[in-house]
A and B are shown apart, each in its own frame.
Chain A
């Protein structure tokens, strides 16, 4: 597959800044519209991929928490998924799932699994033994202990994992356009020599990553006020 180098500007009539591939605020202002839809595609890819990745890894971590023998196989499989070069993953999936959002999401989800799984498990493992003992001794069932004591105490580490996964996914999603899923990556590669273009699309990626990261941090603070006490 070849990557079409689409011309997004008319070089002949533009002033010299644009013609010189420079950083041109005026051009960005006039052309900002073209980045809005790809930006929302990017948000969609990132949020959905992290949400699905979270559900899968969270479920796996709960399973593996009680059945320790599952830890090694899960870490191995998600580890392999994590090390497949991202670009290769998109192309490997194309013959199976075709071009489109599904393909991109599968690959993006695969990258979140190891990070989130390990953090959920670490969070659960770090719950103080004496708190668990006291909980059991007072008559909490296994399930009550998990939902009322262990998981709330693991929240800071779980959210930390989701934050890393979210920022990583924002970056990886720039490659999603290779699978035909759009996103800011399409804009970046459309005219990779033009600074104004790269800075705008890239800047939106950074902004998205920062907003997601901060948002998750605020969520964590809100649901675990004790961790600051």
Chain B
């Protein structure tokens, strides 16, 4: 199914007996095929906002449109079958095998056996699980990471146009968490779903989000912007605090080396004379026959070697580690593509 747009229109939730709204006139539009991260401190209403989209929580006023149609006029159970749902505790059914869990919604929709079995295997492969090995296991026989993957597969079962994910990687150790995040981003390249992703972790938000909605206490939307804009121009003090004092460094992790203008240094093959002319760097760099960096002509080592696909934050860290201002950058074949300097990195943060 094609991804759908999701639009919050002044969506408001006031819980009975609470003087303040949990979500206060939230308006934002998630374009089809993008990941929108709802982020904020606990109690900011981000989970409530997400759960209003599939009517797990009914809003008090306002509206939410899925592909232009109000969710309020849909029967909740039907609406939810069209929306993928993955939560932090995963909530796999302990009494069903992996296959049974993944098949939950297809069964509700009355798919035939063969189609379900084929879809289950396809989904397990999609989330990097071996179908033959995992299909007939019970959730208690899986690792935490495997359970999360099954949870994502189950949410994707009927190819929903919208996915709701509430801290789906929250209960996983940092290493597996990073891996699951990367896997999901790779998966998203392929499936291009509209995703509403809830987290309290700003780093995760920056990594996962095409757009980030920062909510503050009382369920007010503080800012809704792509990650780079959020970091470069926080809308108010709350957002500035929330993104952290190291927001400049965080911005560096959003840019890759290939996206900045590298400097050119004179390249010398061993034993040859340095070329003459105007260069950004005065120090000639010695390269081998394939154009790979060997050392600076002055004799100091040409380290670290940065790759075009490195993010600026990692590149800077390596340069600081090696106590150097300049580092050669190589392309995929290992040949010199230019020179990165601390100065270039500094300029990349300028508006």
Q: Which residues of A contact B (CB under 8 A)?
A: 128, 130-141, 144, 149, 152-153, 155, 224, 226-227, 229
Q: Supply 12 A–B pairs (Cβ within 8 Å), ascending by A.
A: A128-B89, A131-B93, A134-B91, A134-B151, A137-B56, A138-B155, A139-B79, A139-B108, A153-B93, A153-B94, A155-B95, A226-B94
B81 at the interface (CB under 8 A from A): yes
Task: Find chain B residues with CB under 8 A from A149 CB.
Answer: 93, 95
B12 at the interface (CB under 8 A from A): no
Q: Which residues of B contact A (CB under 8 A)?
A: 54, 56, 76-82, 85, 87, 89-96, 104-105, 108, 137-138, 140-141, 151, 154-155, 164
Main secondary structure of the interface of A (DSSP, over half): helix
CB distance from B133 to the nearest CB of A (A): 15
Contact B91 A128 (CB under 8 A): yes
Contact A138 B92 (CB under 8 A): no
CB distance from A141 to the nearest CB of B (A): 5
Contact B80 A136 (CB under 8 A): yes
Given A130-B87, A139-B80, A226-B140: 13 more A-B contacts, CB < 8 Å: A131-B93, A131-B94, A134-B87, A134-B90, A134-B92, A134-B93, A135-B91, A135-B104, A138-B85, A138-B154, A139-B79, A226-B94, A229-B140
Task: Find chain A residues with CB under 8 A from B95 CB.
Answer: 149, 152-153, 155, 224, 226-227
Kindly state the separation between the CA atoms of A128 and B91 in the bound complex, as whole angstroms: 8
Contact A138 B104 (CB under 8 A): yes
Contact B140 A137 (CB under 8 A): no
Task: Find chain B residues with CB under 8 A from A132 CB.
Answer: 91
Kindly state the separation between the CA atoms of A149 and B94 in the bound complex, as whole angstroms: 9
Kindly state the separation between the CA atoms of A227 and B105 in the bound complex, as whole angstroms: 23
By beta carbon, the residue of chain B nearest A133 is B91
By beta carbon, the residue of chain A nearest B138 is A229
By beta carbon, the residue of chain B nearest A151 is B95
Contact A137 B80 (CB under 8 A): yes
Contact B77 A137 (CB under 8 A): no
By beta carbon, the residue of chain B nearest A137 is B85
Task: Find chain B residues with CB under 8 A from A136 CB.
Answer: 56, 80
Kindly state the separation between the CA atoms of A134 and B154 in the bound complex, as whole angstroms: 10
Kindly name the residue among A133, A152, A153 whose own CB sees the greatest number of chain B CB atoms within 10 A. Answer: A133
Task: Find chain A residues with CB under 8 A from B105 CB.
Answer: 138-139
Contact A130 B91 (CB under 8 A): yes
Kindly name the residue among B82, B85, B91, B104 whose own CB sees the greatest number of chain A CB atoms within 10 A. Answer: B91
CB distance from B105 to the nearest CB of A (A): 5
CB distance from B86 to the nearest CB of A (A): 8
Task: Find chain A residues with CB under 8 A from B140 CB.
Answer: 226, 229
Task: Find chain B residues with CB under 8 A from A134 CB.
Answer: 85, 87, 90-93, 151
Task: Find chain B residues with CB under 8 A from A135 CB.
Answer: 91, 93, 104
Kindly name the residue among A132, A137, A224 whose own CB sees the greatest number of chain B CB atoms within 10 A. Answer: A137
Task: Find chain A residues with CB under 8 A from B79 CB.
Answer: 139
Kindly state the separation between the CA atoms of A136 and B126 in the bound complex, as whole angstroms: 24
By beta carbon, the residue of chain A nearest B164 is A137
Task: Find chain B residues with CB under 8 A from A144 CB.
Answer: 108
CB distance from B335 to the nearest CB of A (A): 51
Kindly state the separation between the CA atoms of A144 and B56 in the bound complex, as whole angstroms: 16
By beta carbon, the residue of chain B nearest A131 is B91
Task: Find chain B residues with CB under 8 A from A155 CB.
Answer: 95
Task: Find chain A residues with CB under 8 A from B54 CB.
Answer: 137
Contact B108 A140 (CB under 8 A): yes
CB distance from B132 to the nearest CB of A (A): 18
With contacts A144-B108, A226-B140 known, is A139 near B92, CB below 8 A?
A: no
Contact B141 A229 (CB under 8 A): yes
CB distance from A152 to the nearest CB of B (A): 5
Kindly name the residue among B54, B85, B94 whose own CB sees the greatest number of chain A CB atoms within 10 A. Answer: B94
Task: Find chain B residues with CB under 8 A from A133 CB.
Answer: 56, 87, 91
Task: Find chain A residues with CB under 8 A from B138 CB.
Answer: 226, 229
Contact A131 B78 (CB under 8 A): no
